[in-house]
Amino acid sequence: MDIETLLKNTSRSLYLSVQALPGSMRPAFGIAYLLCRYADTIADTSILPAQRRLYWIERFPHLLQEQNLQEAAQLAGEICGGSENPYEKELIKNLPPCLHVLNQVPAKQLPIIMDVVQAVCDGMKIDLSTFPEEHSAQLRAFQTPADLQHYCRLMGGKPGLFWSRLICATSKIKMPETEFYELGQHIGDALQIVNILRDLPKDLRIGRCYFPQQNLTEAGLTAADLLDTANSTRFEPIKRKWILWGVNNLKSAVRYFAQLSKTQPGGRAAVAWPVLWTADTLLKVWQTPDLLNPQKRVKIPRSVIYSTILLTPPILVSNGLFNKWLTAKLRKFN
């Protein structure tokens, strides 16, 4: 299977953003996503014990650098059959073609890719070393808000940094790069807390509570209490606290977007869409009274995704319109 098809099949709505990117950014972004997704498949496979998965997650960035095809084949052999997703199965079998594409990326973009893969692997090491085995019937929570913020920075903020460094490598911005990078990390933090919020019931049932014990104790809850949908009301203040943390981070997108060149409308669209969809998803989580219910999967409908795309053209030439659009969405949190 070719890399373009792998990307389309594994990235869902993100593929729409990738297609909008300028040609100078698309290969690097696409292969970085696939390699991070490959690492995610290693971390989540059900056929290896956590310690073996931890070994491979630690090895994965080195494997990419060393281009050891024998080791790549060993890895694929160990995790083959560990996913029910047919597209992940194809990805598992296609690491060598991914390595080939990685080798074609311009030299100045290669360190950017390796840095984000390393950061995401570091986040997955936290998963595998902090939480119990998925089928152990045990449940553990992060201890402090700082733990959750650090995790969001690795899994979301560092990809936001990757995106920002890629932009700076292919176009000019007016503000200092370090400031631009920090804004990008804040946006990535917001994208990650959305994933954690909407995946909460599923994560709890594999032993993972990302919401800190400190917050739970203040609400008179334990991680195990969150397995009971009847505790949704008691969990509501914690849910809203972290949604507002995400909203506050997402506000960075206004200044970030204003730095993007209007001569690259595709690049502006590729930033605007995930930000606007994240705002929509945060609101949907905010308005969901029983987030702990495992029968519910919070996500925005396809109609919202495509309507956002259809309404995009004016903001490609106006920072002010993007500001108004995003701000109007974020005002709904009260």
Q: Give tens-digit pLDDT for 295-318.
A: 988 989 989 999 999 999 999 999
Position 273 pLDDT exceeds 90? yes
Confidence of residue 1 (pLDDT cuts 50, 70, 90): low
- Residue 293 Ramachandran class (φ > 0 left, ψ -120 to 50 alpha, else beta): beta
| List of residues 6+ apart from 267 with CB closer than 8 A | 20, 21, 22, 25, 167, 171, 260, 261
Q: What does pLDDT average to over the chain? A: 92
Position 16 pLDDT exceeds 90? no
Residue 293 lies in a domain: yes
Q: Are residues 170 and 221 in the same domain?
A: yes
* Two tokens, residue 242: 């972290």
* Two tokens, residue 271: 């930033």
Q: Are residues 215 and 109 in the same domain?
A: no
Residue 289 lies in a domain: yes
Q: Are residues 165 and 281 in the same domain?
A: yes
- In this predicted structure, which of 85-89, 222-226, 237-241 has the lowest mean pLDDT? 85-89
Note the pLDDT of residue 134: 87
- Between 235 and 137, whose confidence is greater? 235
Domain termination site, one of 86, 106, 130: 130
**CATH number of the domain that 202 lies in?**
1.10.600.10
Residue 135 lies in a domain: no
Rounded average pLDDT over 8-23: 75
Rounded average pLDDT over 78-86: 74
Q: Give tens-digit pLDDT for 188-200.
A: 999 999 999 999 9
Rounded average pLDDT over 74-99: 82
CB of 165 within 8 A of CB of 112?
yes
- Between 86 and 132, whose confidence is greater? 132
Position 10 pLDDT exceeds 80? no
Q: Are residues 63 and 168 in the same domain?
A: no
Q: Are residues 303 and 332 in the same domain?
A: yes
Residue 229 lies in a domain: yes
Q: Are residues 191 and 76 in the same domain?
A: no
Q: Are residues 106 and 183 in the same domain?
A: no
Of 22, 4, 8, nearest to 316 (Cα)? 22
Q: Are residues 80 and 186 in the same domain?
A: no
Note the pLDDT of residue 240: 97
Note the pLDDT of residue 88: 77
Confidence of residue 13 (pLDDT cuts 50, 70, 90): low
Q: Are residues 59 and 159 in the same domain?
A: no
Q: Give tens-digit pLDDT for 131-158.
A: 999 888 899 999 999 999 999 999 999 9
Note the pLDDT of residue 46: 84
Q: Are residues 89 and 197 in the same domain?
A: no
- Round to whole Å and give the CA distance between 21 and 166: 11
3-state secondary structure 79-134: HCCCCCCHHHHHHHHCHHHHHHHHHHCCCCCHHHHHHHHHHHHHHHHHHHHHCCCC
* Two tokens, residue 277: 């969809």
Q: Are residues 149 and 80 in the same domain?
A: no
Rounded average pLDDT over 236-241: 98
Residue 8 lies in a domain: yes
C-alpha distance from residue 145 to each of 67, 109, 226, 241 (Å): 38, 33, 17, 11
Note the pLDDT of residue 84: 66
| Residue in this structure with the two tokens 């009260």, named with its chain if needed | 334
- Round to whole Å and give the CA distance between 307 and 305: 6
Q: Give tens-digit pLDDT for 216-230.
A: 999 999 999 999 999
Domain of 174 in residue numbering reads as 140-334
Q: Which runs of consecutive H residues, i.e. helices, occur in the chain?
A: 3-11, 14-20, 26-44, 50-66, 69-79, 86-93, 95-104, 110-130, 145-152, 158-170, 177-198, 200-204, 213-218, 232-250, 252-258, 265-286, 302-310, 319-330
Note the pLDDT of residue 35: 94
Confidence of residue 83 (pLDDT cuts 50, 70, 90): low
Q: Residue type at 103?
A: N
Note the pLDDT of residue 286: 96
Domain termination site, one of 130, 155, 173: 130
Q: Are residues 169 and 110 in the same domain?
A: no
CB of 226 within 8 A of CB of 200?
yes
- Round to whole Å and give the CA distance between 280 and 259: 23
- Round to whole Å and give the CA distance between 322 and 149: 27
Note the pLDDT of residue 123: 97
- Round to whole Å and give the CA distance between 276 and 253: 10
Position 7 pLDDT exceeds 90? no
Rounded average pLDDT over 78-104: 82
Note the pLDDT of residue 61: 96
Question: In percent, how much of the chain has pLDDT > 90?
Answer: 77
Residue 10 lies in a domain: yes
Residue 222 lies in a domain: yes
Query: What's the number of domains the chain is made of?
Result: 2
Domain termination site, one of 103, 130, 157: 130
Residue 250 lies in a domain: yes
Of 94, 90, 128, nearest to 9 (Cα)? 90
